[in-house]
Structure 1
Amino acid sequence: MKTFNEKLANWIHAVPATEAGINNIQVPGQPELLIWQTRYKEPTVYEQDFVQHLIKAFAAGVTELADLVQTLNQQGFRCESGELWTSESFSEEMQRLGY
């Protein structure tokens, strides 16, 4: 089973075509079902760890950005660069990751 949609990688910075999607039409009874249709690559270890720390924070009732940043820092989870989180760096990371 595929863990990401290989076709999305080609569309990240693509210019929309003026014609219909040739060779992208599903054949009835033969659809390719992808669990992760919106992923263009598998998540990295850092991204998976990030998700786990966010889940812990949200499960603890954190709802505000400042509190979330503080909680991530208290958990010992750092930015990919190794720096402490700030509201700005968290927002930039969410934008980079596409959330």
Structure 2
Amino acid sequence: MCTANRPLYLEPHQARSAAPTPFEDLLGDAIERAYAQGIHELESLIAYLNQSGPSAPNGSPWTTDLFCAEMARLGA
């Protein structure tokens, strides 16, 4: 079969340079739980993370700035 006519797509795991760390797994799971509960606004998500964990990477409570910086770092 000729592959030239197939649409291009990215497998999600192709973009990873390494397996997720335990912290990344915990954070992803917590964000998924929040979304499942209908939490979609940033401020509410930050409050949920501060209540349920995990803590921010430096051990402090999450802030919007910390969360956005961490998402940018993880997405880089």
Whether TM-score is above 0.5 comes out as: yes
Count the aligned residue pairs.
66
Could you tell me which residue of structure 2 aligns to residue 11 of structure 1? none
Evaluate the alpha carbon distance shift between residue 67 and residue 41 of structure 1 in structure 2; reply closer, same or farther with a 3 A threshold: same
Percent of residue pairs identical: 36
Evaluate the alpha carbon distance shift between residue 35 and residue 57 of structure 1 in structure 2; reply closer, same or farther with a 3 A threshold: closer
Runs of 5+ consecutive residues of structure 1 not aligned to the other structure: 1-33
Could you tell me which residue of structure 1 aligns to residue 64 of structure 2? 87
Q: Which amino acid aligns with 1:90?
A: F
Structure 1 outlier segments of 4+, above 3 Å: none
Q: How many angstroms does 1:77 deviate by?
A: 1.7
Matched, 1:98 2:75: yes
TM-score relative to the length of structure 2: 0.80
Q: Which amino acid aligns with 1:65?
A: L
Give me the CA root mean square deviation.
Answer: 1.6
TM-score relative to the length of structure 1: 0.62
Structure number with larger C-alpha Rg? 1
More helix by share: 2
Is the 8 Å Cα contact of residues 56 and 62 (structure 2) preserved in structure 1? Answer: yes
